[in-house]
Chains A and B, each alone.
Chain A
Amino acid sequence: MGLTNPWEPVQTISNAQTPRLSRGVHVESGTGILLTQVDKLLNWSRSSSLWPALFGLACCAIEMMATSAARFDLARFGAEVYRASPRQSDLMIVAGRCSVKMAPVIRQIYDQMPDPKWVISMGACASCGGVFNNYAIVQGVDKIIPVDIFIPGCPPTPDMLLYGFNQLQEKIRLGIPNPPDPLKVGAVKDLGSEN
């Protein structure tokens, strides 16, 4: 009672929303928080022309193709070409479920990309194993490669992918570094609990 429009949301920020700066980000010394104008320019230019490496695995790849098609054009945000060769790209959109046979391939493609590079894990299967909690699927591709942006959905609609892409661009512009590499022994520190 008391609400004029019963469909109006009562709270606008979800309790489950992750805070802006993700916890436990390992800021390497030397990068610093202070961004000079040159750094700002570099980050802006990097974010405005992210070239994805073709890495569509399964159903999310179809939505990724639909995102680059005419209705939801990804190219207007800078992703002009999908490079087939990872050596010429700086963004890897892992779209689809990663099986245990495919895992070393993903790692190798990630290693072949030159720095600076970012990873978007698109879809529930790439983020956490998705619908398939079984022997054949790696439960979250962030066990193998460091992931910057996770996009939920099964499959995420193209506008969700565009939103995730925009979030990644903001992350680059703010200068937030990549998360630590999960396969480097000792790099992922146990940060304990944070209040």
Chain B
Amino acid sequence: MQTGEQTELHITDSVKLDEKTRVDTMTINMGPQHPSTHGVLRLILTLEGETVVKAVPDIGYLHTGIEKTAEGKSYFQALVVTDRMDYLAPLSNNLGYALAVEKLLGVEEMPPKAVYTRVLLVELQRIASHLVWLGTSALDLGAQSVFLYCFREREMILDIFELVSGVRLMTSYIMPGGLQADLPPGFDEKVREFTSVFPERLREYHDLLTNNQLWLERTRGVGAISAKDAIAWGCSGPVLRGSGVAWDVRKTFPYAGYEQFDFDIPVGTNGDVYDRYLVRMLEMEESLKIVQQALEGMPEGPYQISDRKIVPPPKWAVATNMEALIHHFKLYTEGYRPPKGEVYQRIESPKGELGYYLVSDGTARPYRMHVRAPSFANLEALPKMVEGALLSDVVAAIGSIDIVLGEVDR
């Protein structure tokens, strides 16, 4: 720490290149509490005037020990803490976890109604997450009304979640073995109401931003990362697709029934903020298509698998049937015990490739649950995007990566 040699300016590094030029850099702290860092991210920026010479992200301000917490809970209980990592898309986290546990258990068949409902809800969640991204990153760059419009649409989606599970966020509705409860009546109408309204709203956002000269100036050519760098730095999701790599886990390693649906993946060219913006806007359209297909083709049937050693029996059966009572008791006191082994299940969350690495040692608790968070790797690539750019471009770049500190720090 300084002891008062230079008290007027925070001149820290003074590099004499030759006798005539002297480059003074200033190290500033874009602290954990900052309106544009989308959470508690700390960036230590070394600036030369307005140009960023070096950017070092400092994370850990939201470290919650979720992985260690999950080791102390049964597989069913640990579902609840997985919601809280990527808190903009809890249903995606739940789906990843449910698929990983089902893989570990060796569950092969999932009833079609559960498959369709899972896909429908996860795609709605993707739209909701992208709406928050759009609202907040536009807010950072000055477009305040977009924020209010996006949250208006998001409230409609949250109403659907509340109808289905009782909770707006943190639903924990998708569980290993199916869904927590059946779809209530009135679900169809609510989703149809949303899908009829949303395309026109999307057009509104495009009108506001896509060809807006100010937006183009702020985002074109800013925060660019090449495809080779993006792959080397482990970026995934819209960051990778914005750089031109057509990689989407839903298409390459289809999971949870995505192979039955017809959708495209938008891919950018330059890897700058504008391309990522377009990728996400088009992804919202594609998600809407999937939601409509899932709604039209929703089959009847059970919403959970029928293996009572994994999924608790319905309450009326517990009250009358002895075997159901025993299953209920065993599941809620101890839980199911997957065979020893480990799995890695990857899904395409709105932020990128979300991976769950679950290690089971044969007991009722996960021995190790590790989450491969997409925002962790995407954030690691931030210095590459931002070095050499202006300070205001840092704000645009952070917004475009769409980090969620809950999953970066876990």
Contacts and interface: CB of A to CB of B under 8 A. Distances in A.
The reply to whether A and B meet directly (CB within 8 Å) is yes
Interface of A: 54-59, 61-63, 65-66, 69-71, 82, 84, 86, 96-97, 99, 101-102, 105, 109, 131-132, 134-137, 154-155, 157
8 contacts: A54-B35, A57-B40, A62-B88, A69-B147, A131-B81, A132-B81, A136-B64, A154-B170
Contact of B155 (A66, A82, A101): A66
Contact of A101 (B61, B81, B154): B61
A102 B58 CA distance: 12
A155 B158 CA distance: 13
B60 A99 contact: yes
Contact of B60 (A59, A61, A82, A101): A101
A81 to B, nearest CB: 11
B148 A57 contact: no
B168 interface: yes
A102 B40 contact: yes
B202 interface: no
Contacts of A65: 132, 135-136, 151
Contacts of A55: 33
Interface in B7-37: 31-35
A105 B35 CA distance: 15
Interface string B64-94: 1110110000000000110010011000000
Contacts of B169: 59, 62-63, 155
Interface string B131-165: 01001100000000001100110110010000000
A176 B106 CA distance: 59
A54 B34 CA distance: 8
A134 B61 contact: no
Contacts of B151: 65-66, 69-71
A99 B33 contact: no
Contacts of B152: 69-71
A99 B40 CA distance: 10
Contacts of B68: 134-135
Contacts of B32: 102, 105
Contacts of B148: 69-70
A105 B31 contact: yes
A152 B63 CA distance: 21
B65 A132 contact: yes
B31 A137 contact: no
B62 interface: yes
Nearest to A61: B39
A54 B151 CA distance: 18
Contact of B69 (A57, A63, A66, A132): A132
A84 to B, nearest CB: 4
Given A59-B87, A99-B409, A71 B155 contact: yes
A48 B136 CA distance: 27
Contacts of B39: 56-58, 61
Nearest to B61: A102
B405 interface: yes
Contacts of B405: 58
Interface of B: 31-35, 39-40, 60-66, 68-69, 80-81, 84, 87-88, 132, 135-136, 147-148, 151-152, 154-155, 158, 168-170, 405-406, 409
A136 B84 contact: no
B155 to A, nearest CB: 5
Nearest to B72: A134
A195 B88 CA distance: 45
B294 to A, nearest CB: 25
A58 B88 contact: no
A109 B69 contact: no
B170 A155 contact: yes
A89 B39 CA distance: 19
Nearest to B87: A59
A131 B90 CA distance: 15
A102 B65 contact: no
Q: Which of B69, B135, B136 has the most CB of A within 10 A?
A: B69
A171 B34 CA distance: 29
A135 B60 contact: no
Contacts of B65: 132, 134-137
B406 A58 contact: yes
A117 B200 CA distance: 44
A157 B168 contact: yes
Nearest to B409: A99
Contacts of A136: 63-65
B64 A99 contact: yes
Please give me the 10 A-B residue pairs with the lowest Cβ-Cβ distance, nearest first. A69-B151, A59-B87, A136-B65, A84-B35, A134-B65, A102-B61, A71-B155, A70-B148, A136-B63, A99-B63
Contacts of A71: 151-152, 155
B87 to A, nearest CB: 4
A157 B152 CA distance: 15
A96 B85 CA distance: 12
Nearest to B42: A105
Contacts of B168: 63, 157
B81 A59 contact: no
Contact of B62 (A57, A86, A135): A57
Q: Which of B64, B87, B88 has the most CB of A within 10 A?
A: B64
Given A59-B406, A62-B88, A66-B155, A84 B64 contact: no
A137 B61 CA distance: 10
